[in-house]
Amino acid sequence: MSHYKSLTDNELFDLTQVGDKYAFEEIYERFNGLLYIYACKLVTDKEDARDIVQEIFVYLWSNLNIKIKSQLSAYLYTAVRYKVFDWIDKNKSKSNYLLSLEHFSETGDCITDDYIREKEFASIIEKEVSLLPAKMRQIFEMSRRQHLSQKEIAEILHLSDKTVKKQMSNALKVLRLKLTSFISIAIILFIR
């Protein structure tokens, strides 16, 4: 095995191409440290640099039909440089995705959830309003849906202003009592 140390890089590579494991080990010993130092200059994380170099050697061993037109060292350094470019692109996409996800989680609203909660809340309010006594419900709906003033409601229904005011006050008290627990839960959910 010591005779492998005397062989040139390209002679070792030729032996590797026919499956000589010891020739490959010699190439690994010659270039692993140098390629690692080179990769560390290109990427900040030492583990990433180590992974990049390992990927180059795995590729070199698993593809026995590689044709090298120049020196093996030039090929390996170029391979590391291109692998670093791939790594940067992959991490930039990953980083952009994570930043986008973080931004959404901080500022984005869960519109669907809010919409569903809003619809449920409106449905509960409608149900409780429908359970009000007939005259009280009519006054409440005229005020809230038709946006009529108490004076206008009194004129339309031929009631006194005080009666309309009292019916509205009673309707709000009844609704407040029935909806208090739901409103508390809704506030907690909407604030999140």
pLDDT confidence of residue 190: 56
174 & 116 share domain: yes
- Cβ contact 72:9 at 8 Å: yes
117 & 58 share domain: no
- For helices 72-107 and 9-17, give the axis angle rounded to 10 degrees: 70
9 & 27 share domain: yes
Containing domain of residue 78, as a range?
2-107
88 & 178 share domain: no
Residue 189 has pLDDT above 60, yes or no: no
More confident residue, 68 or 103: 68
CATH code (residue 99)? 1.10.1740.10
pLDDT confidence of residue 53: 93
> For the segment 91-101, what is each residue's pLDDT rounded down to a tens digit?
776 666 566 66
Measuring CA to CA, which residue among 170, 154, 152, 172 is closest to residue 162?
154
Kindly provide the b/e burial profile for residues 54-71, where b requires at least 16 CB atoms within 10 angstroms of the residue's own CB.
eebbeebeeeeeeeeeee
Confidence band for 44, pLDDT divided at 50, 70 and 90: confident
Total structural domains in the chain? 2
Residue 32 has pLDDT above 90, yes or no: yes
Report, as an integer, the average pLDDT of 48-63.
90
* Ramachandran sector of residue 133 (left: φ over 0; alpha: ψ -120 to 50; beta: rest): beta
Q: What is the pTM assigned to this prediction?
A: 0.48
pLDDT confidence of residue 51: 92
CATH code (residue 116)? 1.10.10.10
Residue 82 has pLDDT above 80, yes or no: yes
Percent of the chain surpassing pLDDT 90: 19
20 & 92 share domain: yes
